[in-house]
């Protein structure tokens, strides 16, 4: 997200969060550390701890920002898809692929198990809003029951995350496939989960 040069002055907290997105996109969650973020910004290893007491608190702030921004991206994609509920839900898959490719902060970051014990109301608010958006998009397709809505949501997330993960792992590299192409494939696959009436 643009924090790939040394930090000199200004809002260190915001710079730490931005650099965290860069590292997640490059290296993934397992290799993420406060020390690596500090090195990226060329600040002392102690500097981040003036804003975040530990790795999980920094990651929680990243999670909150990611949930907020992903929610906005999904809402925008759904709006652009028009009025058909199935198309709106399918569009979320493409938005997810684009977001994860750009930020590295997919659902494993947003809902990381180690964050459950961090008392961060902003993160909880944004993650709840994200899931509410997704549930609302699934429910609008007029599934037969809440259980079916949840199953449709799970399948939609699995498709989106699967395409994003395969792309990040180089599965499509042999064909030099663009992010937009992968996002379009994710949308097409998501359409098959609950096709609109005109596609049946």
Condensed to tens digits (0 to 9), the pLDDT of residues 6-27 reads 455 568 999 999 999 999 888 8
* Distance between CA atoms of residues 86 and 100, nearest Å: 22
Q: Is the pLDDT of residue 89 over 90?
A: yes
Buried b (16+ CB within 10 A) or exposed e, 108-135: ebbebeebeebebeebbebbeebbebbe
- Residue where the block lists tokens 């902003």: 122
Domains of the chain: 1-52 (1.10.10.60), 54-199 (1.10.357.10)
Q: What's the predicted TM-score (pTM) here? A: 0.86
Residue 200 has pLDDT above 50, yes or no: no
What is the structure's pLDDT at 104?
86
The residue written with tokens 């499509």 in the block is 172
């Amino acid at each position: 997200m643009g924090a790939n040069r040394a930090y000199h002055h200004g809002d260190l907290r915001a710079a730490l969060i931005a650099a965290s997105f860069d590292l997640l996109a490059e290296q993934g969650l397992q290799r993420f550390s406060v020390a690596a973020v500090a090195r990226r910004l060329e600040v002392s290893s102690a500097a981040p701890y003036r804003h975040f007491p530990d790795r999980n608190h920094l990651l929680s702030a990243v999670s909150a920002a990611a949930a907020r921004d992903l929610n906005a991206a999904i809402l925008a994609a759904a709006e652009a898809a028009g009025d058909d509920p199935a198309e709106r839900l399918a569009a979320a898959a493409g938005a997810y692929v684009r977001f994860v490719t750009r930020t590295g902060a997919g659902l494993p970051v947003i809902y990381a198990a180690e964050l459950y014990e961090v008392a961060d109301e902003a993160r909880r608010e944004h993650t709840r809003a994200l899931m509410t958006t997704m549930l609302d998009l699934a429910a609008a397709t007029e599934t037969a029951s809440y259980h079916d809505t949840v199953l449709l949501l799970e399948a939609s997330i699995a498709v989106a995350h699967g395409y994003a993960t395969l792309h990040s792992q180089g599965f499509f590299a042999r064909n030099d496939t663009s992010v937009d192409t992968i996002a379009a494939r994710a949308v097409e696959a998501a359409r098959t989960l609950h096709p609109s009436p005109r596609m049946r």
